[in-house]
Amino acid sequence: MNAKVAKLINEQINKEFYSAYLYLEFANYYGAEGLDGFENWYRVQAQEERDHAMLFYQYLQNNNEKVTFEAIAKPECELTDHMAPLKAALKHEQYVTSLINTIYAAAYEEKDFRTMQLLDWFVKEQGEEEKTASDLITKMELYGSDSKGLYMLNSELAARTYAAPSLVL
């Protein structure tokens, strides 16, 4: 594998674990606020991010590339109110999309079709992540300022269950 592509994928492992850490921080915040549905939502989201990290890890392993684990940064976010994590999540997912696109561009440059095929799944996944994050902001804007509305939204988010990723390596 091209060294630059391998390096970017290795870095992405760390970024996905950071995403998991960030979403756990959100879960932690909502848990302390008594919003157990929101807490559940972000705990499941953190699990998905760990899955993303493990997919990249497995991909490098499968291609005989050395994996190097670096320190995972402290989550950087100011959780000032119930809306703040939702907006931070959308911003973060847009950032992750840009990271996936950068790896894709490097793979494209190297005619690394195998990596491009792997990344096709992540490109689609990022589209879904951004839509989900954006929809959640809309729902919060519509219902979040009303206590009954917030209770209903919290109940909706409590129903989210973890599902393993559809991509198998």
In angstroms, give the least distance from the CB of 112 to Mg ion. 20
Closest CA to 153 of 44, 48, 46, 35: 35
82 makes contact with Mg ion (CB under 5 A): no
In angstroms, give the least distance from the CB of 29 to Mg ion. 20
d(C-alpha 71, C-alpha 17), whole Å: 10
103 close to 12: Cβ distance less than 8 angstroms: yes
How many chain residues touch Mg ion (CB under 5 A)? Answer: 3
Of the two residues 81 and 124, which places its CB atom closer to Mg ion in the complex? Answer: 124
Residue 4-33 contact track with Mg ion, rule CB under 5 A, x = bound:
------------x-----------------
Return the range that interacts with Mg ion (CB under 5 A); candidates 52-60, 61-69, 105-113, 142-150.
Answer: 52-60
Give how far Cα 68 sits from Cα of 12, 55, 100, 115, Å: 11, 15, 19, 19
In angstroms, give the least distance from the CB of 138 to Mg ion. 21
Of the two residues 52 and 82, which places its CB atom closer to Mg ion in the complex? Answer: 52
Scan for tokens 């492992």, then name that residue. Answer: 13
52 makes contact with Mg ion (CB under 5 A): yes
In angstroms, give the least distance from the CB of 155 to Mg ion. 26
Return the range that interacts with Mg ion (CB under 5 A); candidates 1-9, 42-50, 72-80, 130-138.
Answer: 42-50
Give how far Cα 59 sits from Cα of 12, 13, 26, 54, 100, Å: 12, 10, 29, 8, 15
d(C-alpha 145, C-alpha 138), whole Å: 12
In angstroms, give the least distance from the CB of 152 to Mg ion. 28
Give me 56's structure tokens: 């990249």
Query: What residue ranges bind Mg ion (CB under 5 A)?
Result: 16, 49, 52
